């Protein structure tokens, strides 16, 4: 088991990656807590989501200053992501630990594959950014209906796996809704505030949250989130995305091996 103070370093690095990519950081926090600190999976997921609340708020403050958040679209998605997150948290409290670990491992690998494949797609996101605005999105009934429907499943994944929801919300925003990637990551962090709070409310009643660990991670992830939010605008993200995908594959494989 690693020393408790390693959490300070982990929290800072996770905050940078979480804010930059809009995923929340749970894809790193859960494996770290289970591998290095012997957490059971549902305790790791609940502690992860508690940390993500603070990371999401810190990122949102910075992204708000950069005017990169689609508030209207984000709030509409919250209508289903928040209830979905609560349901996911409830499922996590009744699922067997081994099954939950396997589900999380498989999920990480699938997300990694999708992330890496997206890097090599020929479509440019610059064209998207010139077409879709927040106002245009909310006036497109079909598009919003699709986003809201898919958002429910993103919420379930958030509460069940402790990931905050960004790993699904960002693809939903970019692919299903056509939102520019730099705005999607910012909007994802905004919606994550509500999604994570909803799931944490359920986990709190189940007494599964390790608050000292969550607050230690959060204290540094807040700082890291500022760094990630400020630098994300200047980076293309191609190499970072590939590295991120490889890390997810490694983490997912380790989870599957551990709970096989």
Tens-digit pLDDT profile for residues 108-149: 788 788 777 877 765 544 444 455 788 888 888 888 888 889
The predicted structure's pLDDT at residue 198: 94
Q: Residues 161-189: what's their mean pLDDT? A: 82
The predicted structure's pLDDT at residue 259: 67
Tens-digit pLDDT profile for residues 39-95: 988 899 899 999 999 989 988 998 999 899 999 999 999 999 999 999 999 988 888
In the structure, what pLDDT confidence band is assigned to residue 199 with cuts at 50, 70 and 90?
very high
Q: Residues 152-158: what's their mean pLDDT? A: 87
CA distance 180 to 128: 6
Q: Residues 169-174: what's their mean pLDDT? A: 83
> In the chain, what are the domain boundaries?
6-259
CA distance 60 to 140: 25
pTM above 0.85, yes or no: no
């Amino acid at each position: 088991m690693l020393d408790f103070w390693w959490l300070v370093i982990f929290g800072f690095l996770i905050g940078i990656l979480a804010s930059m990519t809009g995923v929340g950081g749970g894809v790193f926090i859960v494996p770290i807590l289970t591998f290095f600190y012997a957490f059971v999976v549902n305790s790791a997921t609940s502690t992860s989501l508690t940390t993500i609340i603070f990371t999401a708020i810190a990122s949102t403050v910075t992204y708000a200053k950069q005017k990169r958040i689609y508030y209207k679209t984000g709030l509409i998605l919250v209508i289903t992501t928040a209830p979905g997150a609560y349901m996911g948290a409830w499922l996590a409290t009744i699922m067997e630990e081994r099954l939950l670990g396997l589900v999380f491992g498989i999920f990480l690998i699938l997300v990694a594959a999708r992330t890496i494949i997206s890097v090599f797609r020929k479509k440019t996101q610059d064209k998207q950014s010139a077409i879709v605005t927040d106002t245009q999105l909310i006036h497109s009934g079909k598009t919003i209906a699709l986003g809201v429907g898919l958002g429910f499943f993103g919420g379930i994944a958030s509460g069940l796996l402790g990931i905050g929801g960004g790993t699904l919300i960002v693809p939903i925003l970019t692919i299903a809704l056509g939102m520019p990637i730099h705005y999607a990551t910012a909007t994802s962090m905004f919606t994550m505030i509500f999604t994570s709070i909803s799931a944490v409310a359920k986990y709190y009643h189940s007494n599964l949250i390790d608050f000292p660990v969550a607050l230690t991670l959060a204290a540094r992830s807040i700082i890291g989130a500022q760094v990630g939010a400020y630098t994300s605008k200047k980076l293309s993200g191609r190499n970072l995305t590939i590295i991120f995908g490889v890390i997810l594959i490694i983490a997912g494989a380790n989870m599957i091996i551990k709970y096989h």
